[in-house]
Amino acid sequence: MRLFLRHALLLLCLSAAGLSHAACESGLAERMHAKLYPKRPLDERLAACKVWPAFPGRSIVVLPMPRETTDKGAKVFDLEVLLIQRPDNGNTERDTVIGRLLQPEALDEDATTAIQDIRIDTSRYVLASDARAFGVRVRYRGSSAPSSPLASETVRLYVQHGSKLREVLQEIELDHDNGGWDSTCTGHFEKLRTMLSVGKSTSNGFADLQLSRTLVQSHAQEQEDQGCIEKTLPAKFSTVTLRYDGERFKVPKSLLQQSP
């Protein structure tokens, strides 16, 4: 029982911590939304902004715009990803969009899965001498009972191409936590963690991507004497290489984002 309580609490802590990354305190997301989509709603809770340290004066903005909720309670989001050049003098009226991409129906949530937060990833994704990518990470959580803790984190990668942004890595799952237990002892839990990095080899002009994955599984079983035996299995390690085909990185189906 203690094992699964710890896992459930960890999920709650991760979810709460992630919310702080999504806020656009400067109001940049709201200003861009008002300028580009004045007649469409914006989910301000999920909107994300971040300065891109690799390029002075540039910021990345993600605008999640919900569509009408379906009869079954599902919500679909169009995603506008913006690259903004900001003036040195801080005059917000001169913020200029230098790259953008609208992705219709890019995200969705339903009665069992909700979007917890959206974060911008400015790690050193140097794919070529003239191509540096940034990521958009989405954390999902399951809205099921505490006895079935669920969470998932995904990433997409984008590069600038002229006045546009181009998605070179579709949404893939990096991390997940899932399991189930009977609220007393018996149950199972699975934790996947993935490190995304740029490899040394190249394919069609872009560096390959390396996914270093660690999977840890554990289970607990109630004993006849009312005791609870917890066991963590040896970690499983694997590496996946993603290669660029000239348009985007080819992704095996097993890595595509799955509902928690």
Q: Which two tokens stand for residue 193?
A: 């963690």
Cα 140 to Cα 112: distance, rounded to the nearest angstrom: 10
175 in Cβ contact with 155 (< 8 Å) = no
pLDDT at 145: 60
User: Whose CA is closest to 167, among 75, 244, 68?
Assistant: 244
110 CB burial (10 A radius; 0-12, 13-18, 19+): middle
pLDDT at 27: 87
Q: Which two tokens stand for residue 77?
A: 């989001």
Each residue's pLDDT tens digit in the chain (260 positions)?
444 444 544 444 444 333 334 457 778 999 999 999 999 999 999 999 999 999 999 999 999 999 877 666 688 999 999 999 988 766 777 889 999 999 999 999 887 788 999 999 999 999 999 999 999 999 998 866 655 668 899 999 999 998 899 999 999 999 999 888 777 788 888 999 999 999 999 999 999 999 999 999 998 888 877 788 888 999 999 999 999 999 999 998 878 755 44
Cα 174 to Cα 168: distance, rounded to the nearest angstrom: 16
Cα 22 to Cα 153: distance, rounded to the nearest angstrom: 14
